[in-house]
Amino acid sequence: GENVEQHPSTLSVQEGDSAVIKCTYSDSASNYFPWYKQELGKRPQLIIDIRSNVGEKKDQRIAVTLNKTAKHFSLHITETQPEDSAVYFCAATSVGFQKLVFGTGTRLLVSP
Amino acid sequence: EAGVTQFPSHSVIEKGQTVTLRCDPISGHDNLYWYRRVMGKEIKFLLHFVKESKQDESGMPNNRFLAERTGGTYSTLKVQPAELEDSGVYFCASSQVGGRIGELFFGEGSRLTVL
């Protein structure tokens, strides 16, 4: 089955810096990769996703890149703000399946 | 629109006791999932309902866990008897059949502490 690894487990940056979180997956059949953000005490929420027919996707300050050959994908946050502080989870699945396989999460702390 | 609601938000029980967690999905969402996160680890899949039917229960750890979704509305997850390693946050999520793939709507989770 699919296995998703996520790094780093914690990431501290200064406000305004960029943050990058990386994930690798094992199943070459996986073709859909969402990212979830969980603020302290709140529910995980989808923030961005990418399908395997696309190499990069942007939404304002966040972007996701995908390298199918290497089986890795990354979340990029530019101009970080304190409200970006949260735990971020990557996930992988195959379109047609409804079971997401999550990474272990990255705790991002943005200091003012 | 009400989101996914879970009850209780936190439960502390002793080893050997029973706990029942409840999830109310978003109205109209036929897909309902249970996930669990043990501290510092991944959000791990437990099972998936489509309406009242178990579509995939491959993630259920053992027969101490029993999930039901009678009538295809709310779901319960019972742990009996609870063990120390069952501690963690149990998330419920729902989605529409045919909806945006991967967009699961999560509840805030039920934190279970087994002493």
Is the CB of B102 inside 8 Å of chain A's CB atoms? Answer: yes
Check if the beta carbon of residue A66 is closer than 8 Å to that of residue A49.
no
Is B110 in the A-facing interface, judged by CB distances under 8 Å?
no
Give, for all 115 residues of chain B, the pLDDT tens digit. Answer: 679 999 999 999 999 999 999 999 999 999 999 999 998 889 999 999 999 999 999 999 999 999 999 888 999 999 999 999 999 999 999 998 776 666 889 999 999 999 9
Does residue B98 sit at the A interface (CB-CB below 8 Å)?
no
E-state strands within chain A: 4-7, 10-14, 19-25, 32-38, 45-51, 56-59, 62-67, 72-77, 86-92, 101-102, 106-111
Average pLDDT over residues A36-60: 92
Say if B42 is an interface residue toward chain A (CB within 8 Å).
yes
**Which whole number is the average pLDDT over A26-39?**
93
Residue B100 has a pLDDT of 66
B104: closest CA among B96, B112, B94, B113? B94
List the single residue in A with minimal CA-CA distance to B46. Answer: A99
Position B11 scores a pLDDT of: 97
Tokens of B29: 């969402």
In the prediction, which pLDDT does A96 show? 64
In this complex, do B95 and A91 lie within 8 Å of one another by their Cβ atoms?
Answer: no
For residue A99, is pLDDT > 90? no
Mean pLDDT over A27-47 rounds to: 93
Task: Quote the pLDDT of residue B66.
Answer: 97
Q: Say whether residue A2 is in contact with chain B using an 8 A CB cutoff.
A: no
**In the prediction, which pLDDT does B40 show?**
80
Residue type, B78: K
Whether A73 contacts chain B with CB within 8 A: no
- Alpha-carbon gap: A81 to the closest alpha carbon of chain B (Å): 24
pLDDT band (50, 70, 90) for residue A2: confident
What is the rounded average pLDDT of the residues A40-66? 93
Nearest CA in chain B to A91: B102
pLDDT of residue B72: 85
Please judge whether B44 and A102 are an interchain contact, meaning their C-beta atoms are less than 8 angstroms apart: yes
| pLDDT confidence of residue B13 | 97
Within 8 A of A100 by CB-CB distance, chain B residues are: 45, 102, 104
B61 preceded by cis ω (within 30°)?
no
Mean pLDDT of A14-23: 98
Predicted pLDDT at B39: 84
Q: Check pLDDT > 80 for residue A111.
A: yes
Q: Mean of the pLDDT values across residues A21-43? A: 94
